Amino acid sequence: MSLENFIFLLYILVLASYCGFELIAKVPPTLHTPLMSGSNAISGITIVGAILCVREGDISKYLGMVALVMATINVVGGYAVTDRMLQMFKKKK
């Protein structure tokens, strides 16, 4: 990776972190658990990296496959359980 490319990615990191702080700072306490399990599912974005690792190769492919299974559990399970929770939050009719 070239230094320029790295600096560019750092810019993205800084801006995204700032964006994250602004977006989440005002989440009401009622939603803290869904926020957590939802953001947890989002962190399963590593699935993208795992897919790229499952390619021709020997040990590297198997490592990628383990990563892919785990990331998929994280993503699918995380979103499903968050949805289940959010479904329950109802206002008084």
Partner 1 sequence: MNIIIQLTYLIATIMFIVGIKKLNKTQEARQGNILSAVAMLLAVLATLVDSGLLTPIETFSCMLVGGAIGLVWARRVEMTQMPEMVAIFNGFGGAASLFVAFSDYWTRAVEQPDLSTDLITIISILLSVLIGGITFTGSLTAYGKLSGKVSGNAIVFQGQHLVNLILLLVAVACGVLVAINTSSVTAMLVMGAVALVLGILVVIPIGGADMPVVISLLNSYSGMAACTTGFVLNNSVLIVTGALVGASGIILTQIMCKAMNRSLISVLLGGFGATSGGAAAGGDGTEMVVKEVGVEEAAMIFDSASSVIVVPGYGMAVAQAQHVVREMMDLLEKKGINVRFAIHPVAGRMPGHMNVLLAESNVPYDKLIEMEEINDDFGNTDVVLVVGANDVVNPAARTNPASPIYGMPILNADKARTVIVSKRSMGVGYAGIENELFGYPNCLMLFGDAKSTLTKMVGELKEM
Q: Judged by CB under 8 A, does residue 90 bind partner 1? A: yes
The single residue listed with the structure tokens 């383990």 is 66
Q: Judged by CB under 8 A, does residue 4 bind partner 1? A: no
Q: Distance (Å, rounded) from C-alpha 44 to C-alpha 72?
A: 7
Coil, strand or helix: which one is 25? coil
Instruction: Quote the strand ranges of the chain, DSSP E.
Output: none
For residue 11, the minimal CB distance to partner 1 (Å) is 10
Residues 21 to 40 in contact with partner 1, rule: CB under 8 A: 21, 23-40
The pair phi, psi for residue 57, each rounded to 5°, is 155, 175
Q: Distance (Å, rounded) from C-alpha 90 to C-alpha 70?
A: 32
Residues 41 to 80 in contact with partner 1, rule: CB under 8 A: 41-61, 63-80
Residues 5 to 24 in contact with partner 1, rule: CB under 8 A: 5-6, 9, 12-13, 16-17, 19-21, 23-24
